[in-house]
Structure 1
Amino acid sequence: MINYTKAKVKDIIQKREGCTEITVIINNKDYNAVNYDCLTGSVKAGDYVLLNTTAQDLKLGSGGYHFVVSVNDGNTFFPFTKEIGHIMKLRYTPLQFSVLSAEEQQSPYHHIFNDFQSLQGKPVIIGELHSMLPPVVFNIKRNRPDTCVSYIMTDGGALPISFSKSVAYLKQKDLINGTVTFGQAFGGDFEAVNIYTALITAFDILKSDVAVIAMGPGITGTGTKYGFSGIEQGPIIDAVNTLGGRPIFIPRISFADKRIRHHGISHHSILVLKEIAKTRAEVVIPVMEQDRMEYIKNQITQNEIDKKHEIVYVKETSSVLENLSCFDFHLSTMGRGIDLEPEFFITAGAAGYFASNIL
């Protein structure tokens, strides 16, 4: 299923690198839309656009946006450029385009991948949701401001990194030093083919002290045991261990989500740790009020997560919270802020706090 409609651009809401948010008029009503400048060219008020409205027609998330397919009937002019990269993104679709990946033969960094030996125990923080990224980084940089932090974006959610307001904010404030996109995700400071070369890029090219890995905004879920895109965390843990890194896992914890399968430690996190990951990770748990702490500990023991992984309890939750409050950024996950989801954000923050202390 794919739905298209035509609209007129009313106004420009916001521009950031590679992405323009706009207001469009459809049947005399205003809607928000996103134009990816690198794919469809620039856009301005008064232009006519063709929109993909599928996600919103299905009442899905997507941030409440339609997406521009073409501007002014595709009359935007793109001058021919002979790029040296030959790795295709969005491949075999009408919007496929080439990038220079860090590891391919024409790259000046090609030799690094052949010479690579080990990540030498460097910490890699692994999260499921994109909303975990800011609290992780806030705690790393508040605790150790000189730490070099990179973000590796998987293709489990949004594909263009420019869609992320979190990344735009973190880069603007010099809180992350570089980004890597791999798989079908695109738009990072460096492109990579897979998780292994993305990790090497983060540490041997960007010279990171710590890397954070999570999908872009959004997540696919089906309400089934294995049917969610966050299952990628299992192979990521294994990849970090294969390359000699130190995987630090952020469990998805909520006491506000009405779905019982996400109560306490989400069934997503339990499945990844219990079944999908074949190697060990450090699982960070912030110390919280007694009844919730007991609930979490029961989940850990009942699923024997502590027999397979190392559980790290972070007691300094007041410091973690203070670090989260020092930035003018609105934390939100699934439409809920830190007032409704304190454990979610404190857990992510605690992972950053812990990683910064082991550097």
Structure 2
Amino acid sequence: MTITWRSATVDRVGARWAGSVELSATLLDGPRAGERVKALAHPDLVGEPAAGDRVLLNVSALARGLGTGGYALVVALPDRLPPDPAPGPGHLVKARYTPLQTMVLGVDDQESPHHDLLAEADDLAGTPVVVADLHSALPAVVAGVRAQAPGARVTYVMTDGGALPAAFSRAVAGLREAGWITGCVTTGQSFGGDLEATTVHTGLLAATLVARADVVVVAQGPGNLGTGSRWGFSGVAAGEALNAAAVLGGRPVAALRVSEADARARHRGVSHHTLTAVGRVALAPVDVPVPDAPGAFYDGVREQARSLCGRHRYVEVPAAGLDEALAASPVRLSTMGRGLEQDRASFLVAAAAGRHAATLLT
């Protein structure tokens, strides 16, 4: 395990969204000393950066060209540490035993005002739970819900397979600001949601019993770890989340990962990630929705979806109106750098899952 460290000076403070701020910084050391880089800080963790500050950066992923949005990550403002937090309740530690572990008040914590509600909670009472592999599916699923049931309350449950801080997600910030989601519940090692939960199970229960969600959407945070192997990808946890929804008496709905533009054959049509997570990991019966869109590509997707449905339930969903719902998204639709025009199928299939979930409310 290695970390590539750099010192830098903040040149300019740029765009910000809930819990995050972009910086332009000049590297002070290493082979690229003098070069400007784009950096990201989470002020709740490291304090509020300003022009002229010296910052300590983790540039490991940036140096390797990995998918972190092209950011160096601010670890500390060593010359201007933030003040100690005010004393308060909460003893859940997240990002545990990393240098930036953070302590939060869990919704299921003994000190939480919701502890008594959740202590023996065990039933989602049939609440639809849409589970997606990629974070990029979140706004598309919500668009599909709203196309069918505009007034439905949708809550996002974030798992810890991708980014750990919810603040990294511009989609969450934008959807919350637009009123498209009631909030975010961060589970496992992920943190920074409107509610914090210890596990996916308590996150689902909190979404329904505390946030009063009509529909819950589960997905990992931004970023996705994949190795090109059958089992070596973070989205395998989507199958486990579908199982959790079923165990708790919810109505699990699988949002298939689909692409018509990915250069990798294993991700075109229904992704091999979905075939593993839904076909092999999800042991309880789940709904598998696909849109009734015309064309040979969608015929192939429907055929692949039916192949998953030995124990699962195949559902064909009207596609009419979903393109308009997607175009109305308050946040940019993007998956692996491709927008709605470049990879319509990715978003249309996710929206179909949302529309189907909304039909289960009636």
- 2:324 is matched with which residue: 301, 322, 336? 322
Residue 147 of structure 1: how far off its partner (Å): 1.1
Cα–Cα, structure 1 residues 80 and 327, in superposed 2: closer, same or farther, change >3 Å?
A: closer
Q: What secondary structure does 2:69 align onto? A: helix
Q: Distance in 1 between matches of 2:115 and 2:331?
A: 37
Q: Which residue of 2 aligns with 1:263?
A: 268
Does residue 138 (structure 1) correspond to residue 143 (structure 2)? The answer is: yes
- What is the TM-score when the length of structure 2 is the normalising length? 0.95
Look up the equivalent residue of 1:341 and give its one-letter code. Answer: D
Q: Which residue of 1 aligns with 2:30?
A: none
Q: Which residue of 2 aligns with 1:7?
A: 8
Q: Distance in 2 between matches of 1:89 and 1:262?
A: 32
Q: 1:143-162, aligned counterparts within 5 Å?
A: 143-162=148-167
Q: Which residue of 2 aligns with 1:101?
A: 106
Q: Which residue of 1 aligns with 2:342?
A: 340
Look up the equivalent residue of 2:355 and give its one-letter code. Answer: Y
Q: Deviations over 1:250-284 (max 9, x none)?
A: 11111211111111100000111221111111011
Does residue 79 (structure 1) correspond to residue 81 (structure 2)? The answer is: no
Residue 289 of structure 1: how far off its partner (Å): 3.0
Residue 352 of structure 1: how far off its partner (Å): 1.2
Q: Distance in 1 between matches of 2:143 and 2:79?
A: 41
Q: Distance in 1 between matches of 2:303 and 2:289?
A: 15
Q: Deviations over 1:107-146 (max 9, x none)?
A: 1111112342411111001001010001111232343232
Q: Any gaps of 5 or more consecutive residues in structure 2?
A: 28-32
Q: 1:259-298, aligned counterparts within 5 Å?
A: 259-298=264-303
More off after superposition, 108-117 vs 329-338? 108-117
Q: Distance in 2 between matches of 1:249 and 1:74?
A: 48
Q: Which residue of 2 aligns with 1:58?
A: 64
Percentage of pairs with the same residue: 38
Q: Deviations over 1:153-206 (max 9, x none)?
A: 000000000100001100111111121001110000110000110011000011
More off after superposition, 214-223 vs 255-264? 255-264
Q: Which residue of 1 aligns with 2:213?
A: 208
Cα–Cα, structure 1 residues 202 and 80, in superposed 2: closer, same or farther, change >3 Å?
A: closer
Does residue 194 (structure 1) correspond to residue 199 (structure 2)? The answer is: yes
Q: Which residue of 2 aligns with 1:306?
A: 309
Residue 294 of structure 1: how far off its partner (Å): 3.0
Look up the equivalent residue of 1:122 and give its one-letter code. Answer: T
Q: Distance in 2 between matches of 1:218 and 1:193?
A: 21
Residue 12 of structure 1: how far off its partner (Å): 1.4
Q: Distance in 2 between matches of 1:178 and 1:52?
A: 29
Q: What secondary structure does 1:39 align onto? A: helix
Q: Deviations over 1:60-110 (max 9, x none)?
A: 010111100111x25313225322211111111222221111112111111
Kept in 1: contact 2:24–2:37 (CA 8 A): yes
Q: What secondary structure does 2:320 align onto? A: helix
Cα–Cα, structure 1 residues 312 and 50, in superposed 2: closer, same or farther, change >3 Å?
A: same
More off after superposition, 271-280 vs 127-136? 271-280
Cα–Cα, structure 1 residues 293 and 79, in superposed 2: closer, same or farther, change >3 Å?
A: closer
Q: Distance in 1 between matches of 2:41 and 2:196?
A: 21
- 1:40 is matched with which residue: 43, 46, 61? 46
Q: Deviations over 1:318-340 (max 9, x none)?
A: 31101111235321100111111
Q: Distance in 2 between matches of 1:98 and 1:33?
A: 24
More off after superposition, 158-167 vs 328-337? 328-337
Kept in 1: contact 2:156–2:216 (CA 8 A): yes
Q: Which residue of 2 aligns with 1:219?
A: 224
Q: Distance in 1 between matches of 2:103 and 2:322?
A: 41
Q: What secondary structure does 1:75 align onto? A: coil
* Corresponding pairs, count: 355
The structure where helix makes up a greater share of residues is: 1
